[in-house]
Chains A and B, each alone.
Chain A
Amino acid sequence: MTEDDQAVLSLDGVRFRWPGQAADIVDINELQLEAGDHLFVRGASGSGKTTLLNLLAGVHTPSSGTIRLLGTDLGALSASRRDQFRADHIGVVFQQFNLLPYLTTIENVTLSCAFSTRKKARATESNDVATTARRLLRALNLDDEFHSAPVNKLSVGQQQRVAVARALIGGPEILIADEPTSALDADNRDRFLELLFQEVEAQGCTLIFVSHDPQLAERFTRTLELRTNAGTR
């Protein structure tokens, strides 16, 4: 297992099923990601994509097998330690509705640092949190005029980029994106991916990107195909 310690992510015989279910919804024998890897997880709906992400983010624990993130066995942590681990080392972007409607753009981005002293420390290395957030937003093509705006004034594409900024502030090692482009049209999608990759690479972050859209796969260094055999959910 020593070589695993170098891996950002390593899965070993991970299986998951909901109580009362007949078959495993997630069944991955082995998977290893190095720092900076970009993994494309492909699968139709019901193939357990979301469950896998919940496992990787430490929200759920596998029925059997081990998940190691940055050398830490998630299964060995308590639920609240897993939450803290997620806060410190993982950024998450959802398909849609990533932002809290009662906060401004900037507040949404800096919120990540509220639950993690590690992220906060890294975000304030050279500047204050707000300045770091503005820099990230600008890098993601969001001009200053949007920074103090209520987020429901933003387009869906803009909202998704704000979500990326929030996920990346404080330099998490892993970024998990769950169908982040499915609500975007083709133009927006391509621009979004462009910016996403640019920032992920700038931070040396490991990306785990889930989508049902096979067209996107070519941009990634690794691909994981999920089978739909278990698909009852």
Chain B
Amino acid sequence: MTLLRIALKSARFRRTSLLLTVFTIAISVTLLLGVDKIRKESKSSLLNTVSQTDLIVGARSSPTNLLLYSVFRIGKATNNVSWETYESIAAKDEVAWTIPISLGDSHRGFRVMGTTSDYFDFYRYGSAKPLVLDSGSRFDGVYDTVLGADVANDLGYELGDEIIISHGLVSADFADHDDKPFTVVGILDKTGTPVDRTVHISLAGIEAIHVDWQGGARSNVTLNAEQALQLDLTPTSITAFMVGLENRAQTFQVQRQINDFPDEPMSAILPGATLAEFWRTISTIEQILFVISGFVLVVGLLGMLTTILSTLNERRREIAVLRAIGARATHVVMLIVLETLLVVTAGCVAGVGMLYGLLAIARPIVARRTGVDLALTWLDPTQLGIMAAVILGAMLVALVPGLIAYRRSIQDGLALKV
């Protein structure tokens, strides 16, 4: 206790150089914890893109590819799933609900997704959060559309606006479905998932804009919007569908049934597992970042070592005085280690303070840009572990000047070489 008081007062006496060291440590700690925070938030945001869905089914392809186009709207499906197959699987006893997905069109860079109103009932993201309409209603008519938050925001759409859907994924004038405009009837709340960047229309709508198209181009017979409505707009195929089961325990059984479906080659994936696998492939970058911040910390600790070593000479007298009073050689080591502990603890506290300060500033910006909520949660065990490792590492580092001071104090004895 006394030793701590001495260490505190001694450190205060030399505060300028020590404060700089504290600042260095603080920056490294902020960086290390910040990278860890970003990594976790992006991971949870990715893993939370879709939840409560037991299986995603599409034409046979790699799980990652299926996941990418069905959930993230990245890339293209290799093939479609026929409507009959979809209906036969949807009718299974084990299946509680399905959400059909029909992709392939776009609107000014945003993907268009055909689905049914089951989408609004059953789609869940994050911790089982449902989709909520910010304004308007679900689509009802064939030419109704519900926009994701980013689509409405970026393109400045409001309820009642008319939009033209382009054929294919690249907007080109010649491939616009300009004869069949859609009306914005609803705008969704921000979710922080690809839903925000999606234009939702009904499956019938998808059918309607394609009735007079053949093989990616307009056919000779053109039907206007009204005429199209007279036709049977049941789709012949869809891109993929999401499945919710009555009983989770049956997931693997149903997955096998779908994978072995005799009439059509299909793949059924577990979104959670595939997302986790996908995360592993892209998390390397974050790991590299983490390693780099680890090195920054090592540099910070070495800087601290340099500072403490350089003060040893001017502290020689101080140590001899303490020895004369009766301080043991081990007290000398402890004094140095205590000082290091003070510096590093102060650095950690300052670092955490800086982290939360930055998070508080960045939070609204990040939420607006990405929909990711950087929750100001208390440090989790990993982060506390990181700090414990920092402090422990620093104390190990401090043993170097500590032992040097120890050896010197033995050699010097009570003699004060001025």
List the interface of chain A (C-beta within 8 A of B).
50, 53-54, 57, 59-60, 79-80, 83-84, 86-88, 92, 94-103, 111-112, 114-116, 166, 178
How far, in whole Å, are A83 and B321 apart by their CA atoms in the complex?
A: 13
B9 at the interface (CB under 8 A from A): yes
Known: A100-B321, A101-B13, A102-B13. A84 touches B328 (CB 8 A): yes
Q: Are B413 and A54 in contact (CB-based, < 8 A)?
A: yes
Q: Are A111 and B325 in contact (CB-based, < 8 A)?
A: yes
Closest to A53 in B: B414
How far, in whole Å, are A100 and B316 apart by their CA atoms in the complex?
A: 11
B15 shortest CB reach to chain A, Å: 10
B329 at the interface (CB under 8 A from A): yes
How far, in whole Å, are A103 and B12 apart by their CA atoms in the complex?
A: 11
Q: Are B318 and A94 in contact (CB-based, < 8 A)?
A: no
Task: Fill in one digit per residue for B309-326: 1 if any A CB lies within 8 Å of its CB, else 0.
Answer: 000000001101111111
Q: Are A115 and B327 in contact (CB-based, < 8 A)?
A: yes
Q: Are A102 and B323 in contact (CB-based, < 8 A)?
A: no
B62 at the interface (CB under 8 A from A): no
Q: Which of B317, B410, B414 contacts A57 (CB 8 A)?
A: B414
How far, in whole Å, are A50 and B321 apart by their CA atoms in the complex?
A: 15
A102: B residues at CB distance < 8 A: 9-10, 12-13
A80: B residues at CB distance < 8 A: 328-330
List the interface of chain B (C-beta within 8 A of A).
2, 6, 9-10, 12-13, 317-318, 320-331, 410, 413-416, 418
B356 shortest CB reach to chain A, Å: 32
18 contacts between A and B (CB under 8 A): A50-B414, A53-B415, A54-B414, A57-B324, A57-B413, A59-B414, A80-B330, A83-B326, A87-B326, A88-B326, A94-B321, A96-B416, A97-B416, A98-B321, A100-B322, A114-B6, A115-B325, A115-B326
Q: Are A54 and B415 in contact (CB-based, < 8 A)?
A: yes
B322: A residues at CB distance < 8 A: 100
B26 shortest CB reach to chain A, Å: 24
Chain A CB within 10 Å — which of B318, B324, B416 has the most? B324
How far, in whole Å, are A96 and B328 apart by their CA atoms in the complex?
A: 21
Known: A98-B321, A100-B10, A100-B321. A83 touches B327 (CB 8 A): yes
Top 4 nearest A-B pairs (CB, nearest first) are: A87-B326, A102-B13, A115-B326, A54-B413
Q: Are B323 and A59 in contact (CB-based, < 8 A)?
A: yes
A84: B residues at CB distance < 8 A: 326, 328
Q: Are A97 and B418 in contact (CB-based, < 8 A)?
A: yes
Closest to B318 in A: A100
How far, in whole Å, are A112 and B330 apart by their CA atoms in the complex?
A: 17
Q: Which of B6, B12, B13, B324 contacts A92 (CB 8 A)?
A: B324
A96: B residues at CB distance < 8 A: 416, 418
A116: B residues at CB distance < 8 A: 326
A124 shortest CB reach to chain B, Å: 15
B327: A residues at CB distance < 8 A: 83, 87, 115
A57: B residues at CB distance < 8 A: 324, 413-414
How far, in whole Å, are A212 and B241 apart by their CA atoms in the complex?
A: 100
B13 shortest CB reach to chain A, Å: 4
Q: Are A59 and B416 in contact (CB-based, < 8 A)?
A: no
How far, in whole Å, are A168 and B10 apart by their CA atoms in the complex?
A: 24
Q: Are B326 and A94 in contact (CB-based, < 8 A)?
A: no
Closest to B327 in A: A115
Q: Which of B12, B317, B323, B414 contacts A178 (CB 8 A)?
A: B414
B6: A residues at CB distance < 8 A: 100, 111, 114
Known: A79-B329, A166-B325. A94 touches B9 (CB 8 A): no
How far, in whole Å, are A18 and B323 apart by their CA atoms in the complex?
A: 20
How far, in whole Å, are A73 and B13 apart by their CA atoms in the complex?
A: 39
A50: B residues at CB distance < 8 A: 413-415
Known: A100-B318, A102-B13. A94 touches B416 (CB 8 A): yes
Known: A97-B317, A100-B318, A111-B325. A92 touches B414 (CB 8 A): yes
Given contacts A87-B327, A96-B416, 18 further A-B contacts (CB under 8 A): A50-B413, A57-B413, A80-B330, A83-B328, A87-B325, A87-B326, A92-B325, A92-B414, A94-B320, A94-B414, A97-B321, A97-B416, A101-B13, A102-B10, A112-B325, A115-B331, A116-B326, A166-B325
How far, in whole Å, are A156 and B415 apart by their CA atoms in the complex?
A: 18
How far, in whole Å, are A109 and B291 apart by their CA atoms in the complex?
A: 50
Closest to A54 in B: B413
B317 shortest CB reach to chain A, Å: 5
Closest to B2 in A: A114
